[in-house]
Structures are given as C-alpha cells and as structure tokens.
Amino acid sequence: MRTLRRRAAALASAALLALSAGAAAADGGVLRIAMTAADVPSTTGMPNNGFEGMRFLGYPIFEPLIDWDLSRADVPAGLRPGLAEAWEVDPADPTRWIFRLRRGVTFHDGSTFDADAVIWNLERFFDESKAHFDTAGSAITRARNPLLKGWEKIDEHTVAITTKYPAHYFPNVICYLLIASPAQFEAVGADWNAFAAAPAGTGPFRVTKVTPRVSVTLARFDDYWNPERTPKLDGVELYPMPEATTRLAALRSGQVDWIEVPPPDAIPGLEAAGYDVVTNTYPHIWPYLLNVQEGSPFADVRVRQAANYAIDREGLATLLNGTAAPAAGLFPKGHPYFGAPAVEYGHDPEKAKALLAEAGYGPGNPLKARVMISTSGSGQMLPIPMNEFIQQNMAAVGIELQFEVVEWGTMLVGFRNPPGSPPTMGVDAINVSLVTSDVSYLWRYFHSKNASPVAFNWGHWKNPEFDALLDSVEAEFDQAKVDAAMVRAHEMVVAESPWLWIVHDLNPRAMSASVKGFVSAQSWFQDLTGVWIEN
Amino acid sequence: MLTFVARRLLHAIPILLGVSMLVFGLVQMIPGNPIDLLLPPEAPPELIAQMTAAYGFDKPLHIQYFSWLGRTLQGDLGYSIFTGAPVARELMSALGNTFVLAVPAALLGFALGVGLGALAAFHQGTWIDKAASAFAITGVSLPHYWFAIVLVVIFSVTLNWLPAQGMGFEGLPGSFAEARSLVLPVVTLSLIPMGVVARVVRATVLEVLNQEFVATLRAKGLIDREVLLHVLKNAAPAALAVMGLQFGYLLGGSILVETVFNWPGSGNLLNLAIFRRDVPVMQATIVVLAFFFVLVNLLVDIAQAAIDPRIRR
C-alpha cells in the first residue's frame, strides 16, 4: 500500500514538473488505455457503462456547467467552473439557480456554445416532446439529476435552472449533465445514432473514430477554450477489455500503455517489471447494507457494532494487495466530513463477542444471517474472495453468514426493493458497492424519507435526530453550517452503523513507465490533459 | 434431389419457430431486465417504471412476442437498448468478425482432424495411432480458456511475437501484420473440431476398413493410396455430419475464446447482451445463430446426399 502511495505521489510530482516544463511535452504521443467496460461507452454526450464511461467518454469530450477539479491528488476532488463561469442561488427563490455562461467557447464542430445550447441540452434530457429527446441518455441523466424541475433562458449568456425543492448540493448534481453540440446533431441528420459516430462537445479531446465494441479514438482539440488544460497528448485510444487477464496481457505485451483495475495478484509482478501501479482514495465504498427492521438480527445496534468489530479490514486490504483501504465510515478517514465518531472500528473479535453476548448471542445461540452477494458487477471489486474472507471473520466471533450469490442485474433489483420483498430473497444484508462523492449521498442512503423502495436507505434505518439534522441544512446555503452538520451526521451514522463499513476501493490502474504527468485525483473521474507519453 | 432439398427446407421452418419461442421464453425467465442495468443504481422507481413503459417491457408477454416475431420476419431486428444502434448492424458486424475466425479455424481443425484420424486408423494399434489419438483427445479435453491464456503468455507476453488481444483490422486482414492477430484465436478455436473430427474419422475409417469391399480392392491390386481414397469417400458422410455441427458451433462464436482475445465477434456480442439483459440483441443473436446452424446442417445434409445417394431414399 505504501509503495503504491509513493508511486502515486511520484506521479503527482512528475505532473508538477511537467507543468513547469511546459513545452517539454509538445509531442505528447498517443495514450492507449484498456478500460474495464465490456463495450465502448456511448459517445452521445451521456455515456453508459457507469462512471467509467463518464471518466473516458464523458468529461474529456463533453463538459458540464460546473466541472470537477481533478488537478490534485491530495484532497477529495471538488468543483470548479466549467461551461458556467459563475453560479448563484436566486436570493428571492432558493430553488432557482442562475448560471452565467462562459463566452468564447466553441464546440468541436465549430459552432458556438451559448444559452440556447444549454436549453437545447436540458430539453434533450428532460422534455420528451422535443424531437431531439434522447431516451437512453435521458434515463441516465435523470437518475443522476433527480432535483431538476425547470429552466429558462435569461439572455444569450445566462440561464436559470430550478429545482424541485431547495438543495444546497445542487452543484454536485448538475455536474453530471454534459453539454453536446446542437448544430452537430442537426448536421448529422438529427439522429442520436449518427451523432454517436461523429459527436461534438466542448471538451479538451474530440472523437475522431468510433468502432463499436472495439475502440474509440480521441484527438486533442486545439481550439479548446482553456489553454491551461489543452492536452499534451496528441490523442487517446480507448479499448474496452472486461477481462482482467486480457488487460494485463495487453499491457505486458505493449499493446496498451494503461490498464484500469489490474488483477490484485498481478500487482507485485507489474511493479517488479517496472510498471507504475497508481492508487488513491476516491469516493467509493464496499459495504454491507444491513436490514435494521424488526425481525432482522441487525435490528439491534449492538449486533451491528459487533459485526463491524469482527472484520479484519487490514487483512482484507492485504488480500487485495493494497488496492483497498480499511473503511471506518461512509467517508474515509481524513475526509473533511469524517469527524470524530464516538465508535472507531478496528479488528477486535473479543469486543465483538462481548457485544454479541450482550445482545443474547453466544456459542449455544449463534447469530445467523443471510447476505446477498454478486459474482461481479460495476465497482464490486472481487466479491467472491472478499466475502469468503468476511465470512471467516464473522465465523470467528460466532456469526454464521450464508450467501445468496446472484448476478449483478439481480442484485440491482434487490437493492431497489425493500428488505423482505421477493426480489431481496429475504436476506438480512446486501453487499453492493456505492458512490459517496458528495454530501447528497448522506440523504440518499440514510434519511428515513428515502427508505427503499423510494430511494436507497435499503435497510430502513431511522434516527429522528439524524433526519432533523439533515433537514435543517438541506436548504442551507451557508457552507460552514452545512459542513458542521455533515460532520455531525457522519459521526451519528458511524456510531449506529446501519452498514458494515468494510473497505474503500483505491481505484488501481497500472501504466507503463512511459506514461508521464498523471495526477490520480480522489475522484471517479480523471484528467488526461496533463498526461503525455515519453518516448 | 430437389424434393429432398425442399423437404429439408420445410423442416427448417418449425425448427426456427420453435427456437424463437424458446429464446423469447428463456429470456423472459432471466431475473432482472435491461432497464435495471441501463439505469444507475440510484435511479428512482418512477423513472424505472417510465423507462420500462418506454421500451414496451410493461406489455403482456404474448403481445411482446408477436410484435417481435412480426418485426423479425420483416427483417427488422430492432435497436439495442444500450447502444441505440440497429441490432442488424451490430449483429452483421459481429458475425463477420466471427466468420473471419471460424473459417480458418474450421479449415485448420478439419484438415488436422481428418489427417490425424485417417493416420490413426491406418496404423491401428501402433504408436502412431496412440500418438494421434492422444493429440486428438488432448485437443478436445483442454479447457479453451486456459489454453488461450497459455498461448498469450508464451507468444505475446514472453516472446512478444503475436498480439495478445484485439482484432487489429476491420473486415478482412489487409496484410501479414494485421493477420497476426488471427493466429492465437484460430489455433485455440481449431482444437476442438480437430479432436472431434479426428475421433470420428478414426472410428469411421476403421469401420470402413473392415468392410468386404476393401478386401476386394486390395485383392484387385490397388495400392494403399488408392484404397485410402475409396475408404475416405465412404467415411465422408459421417465426418461431414460432424464437421457441419462443428462449423455451426464455430459460427456461433466461442464466448470464452472471444473474451480472452477481446475479439468483437458474435460470442462476445451475445455475452455482452446477456449480461446487460439487452433483450433485442440477445433474441436476434440467438435466432440468427440458430438460423445459420440450421443452414449449415442443411448444406451438410445436401452434401451427404450428393456423395451417398442412399441417403436421399
């Protein structure tokens, strides 16, 4: 783990040197990346294939009004102006957000970015009556933007967007809505399939070739509006390679320069062979979501705490060759919202046994629980060996875990339905990895009004004090007050543990030594503009 | 002969109809639906319901089936839920890529299979028979997935002679350099047909060799090479039947081999569609592959009938 972090730090230093060197990377070469996606993510400006699609065929090509700041490896990625230079909440109406758009921005097809383009894109995703409505893109965008209600053009360079209710975290939601070129859509015959073959956004890279299921080729957009982020690379080639051993072989045979998620057991060999393995914390947790309703063994907070003490997180991280970090809460330690929880979970089997005894469990009355786990899936890491490891940990303190092993699609259905309903197969917990990239997730996962199937408080945990705390700041625009409430809320969640906090994925990627300038941001997304290939 | 062909063609219709019903029914039995996988985990239930309706998955099953069958019969295979692209375009591209692998793999596998089988039969009981049979059985028994990885480790990672993955060209290879990406997957894919054909040819040739006409041929003074030709012609119908089946399997694409070599063929497409529950792609791929399977076996039936007139009766 330490080695990996040192490498991440070394790469970050290299990036700083590259920035200072400036012209050193005029001929940046072509970076060839093997993604974990099974297919080329859609290139219409709203990629499928989850956040990996957004990482490689979203943000590098299309931009949002508010963008991620991916320039630093040492802090969680925050937000920065994107296609909007500034934004503010209307003082007279806290549901109305005013965005002042950047001037002088052109799309890859040469057309101009302005308020009409923003309105057109909002219609694309949210107005089914429009000819340019995009069903597939809309499905993904609407899922990530549940707050958006309406919009209006104020002038050529200003738009207003209204939300269903006041929410200070709206910038963390609107950053998933990407802007595509209306002119290019019309030029290719007003068809999203045709647009996917020749898309145009405003990002630092433009798509030059799409070969379905094989590859996508990007080239540097020389007219990019931000000279500080004009790519050093001449281009990027992206290949979908879902099979980890295939990605590994492609890297080691020199077919690609960079692979996402190398197999953990291959990492020592890669490092020994001179490849860089880069990891960093990012907002991704691999937990058990517990059913805390009456009748479940996890209804008792002492049992939930005992289970948390039973897990040998360090051992699990070692099993994964340092590609995961122990979790002690929804957010990782060191995160601004982690706080100082009253309970800190380490590997303490004796304490786990004592808590179980208090709750009425022991050698004569072992606790039995059923957990839904998947064979694979987006962000699920290595679910089978990891769960077997946890099963052993639990057995050591007297908790007998039984697994319902399902396919990823089946798990998603279970996750969207309340415990006890048929799709959940009567399990007491579900092992689904989740995003934790902004504070809105505290609402989504833990507020009682979001109990499944309404939203994602799957286990129906309810704490009136916690709910009141979140309610008190949902419409609060004083960031200091929000931050204080978030810290307190996180401390409460950790103490009552509606989830088993197991590990945070460290987002490993391996690259050849010729890849320079990469900064591993603490984010699901990464900035390729500072990268170059050294000959 | 024409009556025979017409009868075989008519037999194909209920087979394909049965396949379509089976495919549709099985796809419906798989838990989860494409909307669950298309949407991010945090999608709200009302959006899921809306999208389910938008793609027609809320309609009764028989309506969905007849609607799909009607469109398929008119050549409209629909659109992929995930890519939005016409299924026909995706499928044709994938089948073309698989064909590029299947034909050389079949040629290699069949040539080796016939050669090894005949060699073993003509040298029954000798070390040649044992070696050829062992080679054939190894070909059938080796796990493809494992063998493909071993080839990659040796020829791509260690020796760096051949590409580890990917097609490296579109359509057909235009140069030797592009054709290099064919070598490892073709060798891997040819193993099973080689083994199966070798076993069948050996058994059939041995059976034919024991027939009286062979003794007559030898008594008439025919040399071994001439006897071999007669024997192989008589063994051909049985071997052809097996080759037809094997070629059908190869056209279906090997999910494992295409996955290891990241080859964008029909096996890869089907695998992707299954994992995504991309119902239009899944249904169309299986039905079209079944159609090819039926077609190949029809051609084999006709070839057998042409070689051996007794089959027509």
Give A250's contacts in chain B (Cβ within 8 Å).
Answer: 164-166, 262
| pLDDT beyond 90 at A135 | no
| pLDDT beyond 70 at B124 | yes
Answer with the residue of higher pLDDT: A32 or A443.
A32
Specify the residue for token string 């080239």.
A219
pLDDT tens track for B253-298: 678 889 889 999 999 899 888 887 788 898 899 888 888 888 888 8
pLDDT tens track for B74-106: 888 888 888 888 899 999 999 999 999 999 999
- Helical packing angle, B224-252 and B279-307, nearest 10°: 160
CB contact under 8 A, A254 and B93: no
| pLDDT beyond 90 at B161 | yes
Distance, in Å, from the CA atom of B237 to the CA atom of A139, rounded to the nearest integer, reads 55
Domain ranges of chain A: 284-505
How much of chain B exceeds pLDDT 90, in percent? 32
| Mean residue pLDDT across chain B | 86
Express the helix, strand and coil content of chain A in percent, nearest 5 each: 35, 25, 40
C-alpha A116 chain-centroid distance: 30
Q: Is B44 part of the contact surface with chain A (CB cutoff 8 Å)?
A: yes
Answer with the residue of higher pLDDT: B52 or A63.
A63
**Of A500-504, A530-534, B10-14, minimum mean pLDDT range:** B10-14
The token pair at B247 is: 């070629």
Q: Are A496 and A461 in contact (CB under 8 A)?
A: yes
Could you check whether the bond before residue A423 is cis, i.e. omega within 30 degrees of 0? no
Q: Residue A523: its pLDDT value, please?
A: 94
**Angstrom distances, CA of residue A455 to CA of A186, B44, B48:** 37, 6, 12
Specify the residue for token string 């029954």.
B124
Q: Is B307 part of the contact surface with chain A (CB cutoff 8 Å)?
A: no
Of B40, B86, B166, the CB nearest to A50: B40
Rounded to an integer, the average pLDDT of A328-332 is 94
- Helical packing angle, B176-209 and B144-151, nearest 10°: 140
Residue of A35, A192, A237, A253 to mutate, interface with B, max B Cβ within 10 Å: A253
Q: Are B68 and B283 in contact (CB under 8 A)?
A: yes
AA letter at A305: Q
Element (H, E) at A349: helix A349-358
| ipTM value greater than 0.85 | no
**Can you give the length of chain B in residues?**
313
Q: Residue A23: its pLDDT value, please?
A: 40
State the CB neighbour count (10 A cutoff) for residue A535: 6
| pLDDT beyond 70 at A161 | yes
How much of chain B exceeds pLDDT 70, in percent? 96
The token pair at B82 is: 């995930």
Which range of A37-41, A513-517, B44-48 scores highest in mean pLDDT? It is: A513-517
- Give the number of A-B residue pairs with CB atoms closer than 8 Å: 147
| pLDDT beyond 60 at A448 | yes
| pLDDT beyond 70 at A7 | no
CB contact under 8 A, A412 and B260: no
Of B37, B51, B167, the CB nearest to A214: B167
Identify the burial level of B168 via C-beta atoms within 10 angstroms of its C-beta, where 0-12 means exposed, 13-18 middle and 19 or more buried.
middle
With cut-offs at 50, 70 and 90, classify the pLDDT of residue B31: low
* Angular region, A484: left φ>0, alpha ψ -120 to 50, beta rest: alpha
State the CB neighbour count (10 A cutoff) for residue B61: 11
Segments in B30-84 forming alpha helices (H): 34-38, 45-54, 61-73
How much of chain A exceeds pLDDT 90, in percent? 76
* Residue among A57, A58, A195, A183 nearest A110 (CA): A183
Phi and psi at residue A160, in whole multiples of 5°?
-120, 135
CATH of domain B97-275: 1.10.3720.10
Bridge partners (DSSP) listed for residue B156: none
In the three-class reduction of DSSP (H, G, I as helix; E, B as strand; rest coil), residue B266 is classed as helix
Distance, in Å, from the CA atom of A468 to the CA atom of A448, rounded to the nearest integer, reads 10
Distance, in Å, from the CA atom of A294 to the CA atom of A307, rounded to the nearest integer, reads 18
pLDDT tens track for B13-23: 888 888 888 88
| pLDDT beyond 60 at A8 | no
Instruction: Measure the N-to-C terminal CA separation of chain B; round to a whole number of Å.
Output: 10
| Mean residue pLDDT across chain A | 91
DSSP string, B85-109: SBHHHHHHHHHHHHHHHHHHHHHHH
**Angstrom distances, CA of residue A456 to CA of A2, A203, A388, A447, B38:** 34, 33, 26, 9, 17
In the three-class reduction of DSSP (H, G, I as helix; E, B as strand; rest coil), residue B177 is classed as helix
Domain ranges of chain B: 97-275
| pLDDT beyond 80 at A485 | yes
Rounded to an integer, the average pLDDT of A300-327 is 96
**Of A70-74, A260-264, B2-6, B114-118, minimum mean pLDDT range:** B2-6
Q: Residue B5: its pLDDT value, please?
A: 79
Distance, in Å, from the CA atom of A132 to the CA atom of A185, rounded to the nearest integer, reads 8
- Which letter, b or e, does each residue of A49-65 get, where b requires 16 or more Cβ atoms within 10 Å of its Cβ? bbbbbbbbbbbbbbbbb
Window 77-136 of B, Cβ < 8 Å to A: 81-86, 90, 93-94
pLDDT tens track for A95-107: 999 999 999 999 9
**Can you give the length of chain A in residues?**
535
Distance, in Å, from the CA atom of A491 to the CA atom of A506, rounded to the nearest integer, reads 23
Q: Residue A222: its pLDDT value, please?
A: 95
Answer with the residue of higher pLDDT: B185 or A414.
B185
Distance, in Å, from the CA atom of B50 to the CA atom of B42, rounded to the nearest integer, reads 15
| pLDDT beyond 80 at B67 | yes
Instruction: Measure B40 CA to nearest chain A CA, in Å.
Output: 6
The alpha carbons of chain A give a radius of gyration, in whole angstroms, of: 24
**CATH class (in words) of the domain with range A284-505:** alpha beta
Rounded to an integer, the average pLDDT of A337-357 is 95
A325, A329, A332, A336 alpha-carbon torsion, rounded to 10°: -170
Give B166's contacts in chain A (Cβ within 8 Å).
Answer: 214, 239, 250, 255
The alpha carbons of chain B give a radius of gyration, in whole angstroms, of: 23
Element (H, E) at A80: strand A78-81
pLDDT tens track for B215-235: 898 888 888 888 888 888 888
